[in-house]
Structure 1
Amino acid sequence: MTMQGKITVIGSTNVDITIRLSRLPEKGETISGGDYYQAFGGKGANQAVAAARCGAEVSLITCLGNDHYTTLLIESFINHNIQTRYVFVEETSFTGTAVIMTDKTGNNYIGVAGGANEALTPEKIEKALPAIVDADIVLLQFEIPEATVRYVLDACSRLGKKVIFNIAPACVIEDSYFAKLYMVVVNETEAEMLTGVKIDAPSGVEKAAEVFLANGTPYAIITLGERGVYVAGKEERFFVDGIKVDAVDTTGAGDVFCGSLAVACTQGMPVKKAVEFANAAAALSVTRLGAQPSAPRKEEILDLLAKQGLHF
């Protein structure tokens, strides 16, 4: 399988500070004895790294703060062969920071201070339009200002670009924007928040996906953690089963899924194949610590798929 294609990712960059505990604390409780590690994250940066590790040509539009992380982050992007021309630096802000607590099974709590991500304005996107024009697929998330998200969606619609929109964290957006997308990707919690449909059974997942389709989205993809993925399109609906692995950290799994999905889509793969590829990438990622460090290479993904009897 040849892995290439031009993807422009628009989104956040964070520094992830993680403490791994024996279990997650209750309200008001302090738990000692955890392991500490620090890695780079942010939904935009995570998805860009995931796509780049799959062999795609990736441009990242993001905003960093003016601090000691700036040079380190840019060096990391360059080392992943990510185009940094539109990595902006906000002189008066700090780089976005996420504080993560995770337990031994990979469940987590996450709090984010947006910092310079809040300065990724429509004006900056206007300067970065050449990267959007050049893209085969645009990959978009929240963790950046809502006005910027709307500007990107309008610009991509005007330019005829395919957009994969990972609506995370969940944020209400006008129904009219869904018709401007190629794919919506959300997890169960986000699907419930955005559709108002309780997802407590397979029928709930299906009903939630139908809400997105009714608003004009060609494909609605709902990730279900270890249970797999549900996909609804105008002419097809199917589940992709989860791949059993020993999870140690689920942080960034959704981002790995999205980045890998975008790469597969640039190859013109059928949607089911693309989702199977992304599902395998996400499964591999949860067996490792950290959001960006956990993103697998394409060879690893193809090897896992082959072990499942799926050949690409």
Structure 2
Amino acid sequence: MADQKSVVFLGSINMDVILRIARLPKPGETIAMTDFHTAGGGKGANQAVASARSEAITSFVGRVGADEYGKTMLNLLQTSGINTDNIKVDSKSVTGQAFILLQKSGQNSIIINGGANQKIKKQDIFDAKEKIAAADFAVSQFEVSMERIEEFFIAAKDAGVKTILNPAPAKKATQKLLGLTDLIVPNEIEAQELTGVKITDETSAKKAAVLLADKGIANVVITLGSLGAYCYTPTFKKLIPAFKVKVLDTTGAGDTFIGALCSVLENDLGNIREAVVYASRAASLAVQHLGAIPSIPMKKQIMKR
């Protein structure tokens, strides 16, 4: 895992508006929040920052609005060491926003306003072809158009670049997109959406992974929260337990896992076990802090644990 990886992301850039509450309100009920703050987020941005903080060469394809949130997010990504040459400023859209209801238990519920993330064009993918071709991995999620992800993965495949799909938030994927995916990394809810299998343990995780493999995806990692992560590849099939920590906020934990994973993964995925352990360690550090991007650890913190 010594050589520096290069990762290109197509994805969402959001400003997270975090409302801390004791619990979710019941229908018709009004409750008070205990705290309110904003933080950088969006699944794409979170994963890219996690990749960069684990010292991968990281670039991004996406859009922000011509507003203060857009300026803030561009600056945040740039200061995190991410190449933003292929992030366009959309004068007709607002920057994506996520309203996060964070409960005392550490669980969260999220409401998304896609904004500029939904305005990415085919030309944006074409304009990023050099960055895509220079990468070891091309990574995307479901907070941007599936059609754009397909185009992004086709460009990656044409350049001999491995593709990683995080099918989040949970929704059905086209068979075309699944066929373009080298590694899929869903959580248990997203895996259930794609396979119909309710995942509660290693046995059900394996059943879902086999069904995903049957759809043409050779490599599957299903994240299972406190249970760990189930790996299913041609050479490695096993549940890797999670690190036991006190959870403060799960926001961005899955994104931290994916960004950290692709920063150390070998091109042939031969070190999948070691990479998943590293990614799990990164996610276990992230859940001990508030917010998505603010909680993502640096490589030296992950290695020290």
TM-score range, shorter chain: over 0.9
| Aligned equivalents of 2:72, 2:225: Cα separation in 1 | 31
Partner of 1:276: 277
Look up the equivalent residue of 1:303 and give its one-letter code.
Answer: K
Mapping of residues 80-99 of structure 1, within 5 Å: 80-99=80-99
Match in the other structure for 2:54: 54
Deviations 1:220-267 (A, max 9, x none): 111011111111112321011111111111001010000000001158
Count of aligned positions: 304
Alpha-carbon separation, structure 1, partners of 2:67 and 2:56: 29
Q: Which has the larger displacement, 125-134 or 69-78?
A: 69-78
Q: How does 1:25-36 map to 2 (within 5 A)?
A: 25-36=25-36
Bigger mean CA offset, 64-73 vs 243-252: 64-73
Contact kept in structure 2, 1:24 and 1:108, CA below 8 Å: no
Give the alignment's TM-score, normalised by structure 1: 0.93
TM-score (norm 2): 0.95
Q: Does residue 1:180 correspond to 2:165, yes or no?
A: no
Whole-angstrom distance in 2 between the partners of 1:295 and 1:269: 25
Letter in 2 for 1:149: I
Query: Residue by residue, what CA displacement relative to the aligned partner does 1:101-141 show, whole Å, maximum 9, x if unpaired?
Result: 01122101000000000111212111111110111111111
Q: Distance in 1 between matches of 2:83 and 2:76?
A: 11
Superposition deviation, residue 3 in structure 1: 6.3
Aligned to 1:151: 151
The match for 1:307 is none
> 1:269 offset after TM fit, Å?
6.0
- Percent identity reads 37
The one-letter code of the counterpart of 2:229 is: V
Aligned to 1:43: 43
Ranges of 4+ aligned residues in structure 1 off by more than 3 Å: 266-269
CA distance in 2, matches of 1:41, 1:289: 12
Seen in structure 2, the aligned counterparts of structure 1 residues 243 and 206 have a Cα distance that, compared at 3 Å, is same
The answer as to whether partners of 1:6 and 1:266 remain within 8 angstroms in 2 is: no
Structure 1: stretches of 5+ with no match in the other structure: 305-312
Q: Report the equivalent of 2:78.
A: 78
Aligned partner of residue 144 in structure 2, secondary structure:
coil
Corresponding residue SS for 2:98: strand
Q: Paired residue for 1:196?
A: 196
CA contact (8 A) 1:96 1:113 kept: yes
1:3 touches 1:263 (CA, 8 Å); kept in 2? no
1:220 and 1:29 map into 2 onto residues whose CA distance is 41
Are 1:8 and 1:58, in contact at CA under 8 Å, matched by a contact in 2? yes
Report the secondary structure of 1:155's partner residue: helix
Residues of 2 paired with 1:232 and 1:96: CA distance?
34
Output aligned runs, 1:93-108, within 5 Å.
93-108=93-108
Q: Which amino acid aligns with 1:14?
A: N
2:248, 2:201 → 1: CA distance?
A: 26
Residues 140-197 of structure 1, C-alpha deviation per residue, up to 9 Å, x if partnerless?
1111112101111222222221011101112322334334222100001101111111
Give the aligned CA root-mean-square deviation in angstroms: 1.5
Distance 2:169 2:55 in 1: 27
Q: State the partner residue of 2:234.
A: 234
CA distance in 1, matches of 2:24, 2:170: 23
* Whole-angstrom CA distance in 2 between matches of 1:230 and 1:266: 18
Which segments of 5 or more consecutive residues in structure 2 lack a partner in the other structure? none
What pairs with 1:119-138 in structure 2 (closer than 5 Å)? 119-138=119-138
**Contact map agreement 2:19 2:33 (CA 8 A) in 1:** no
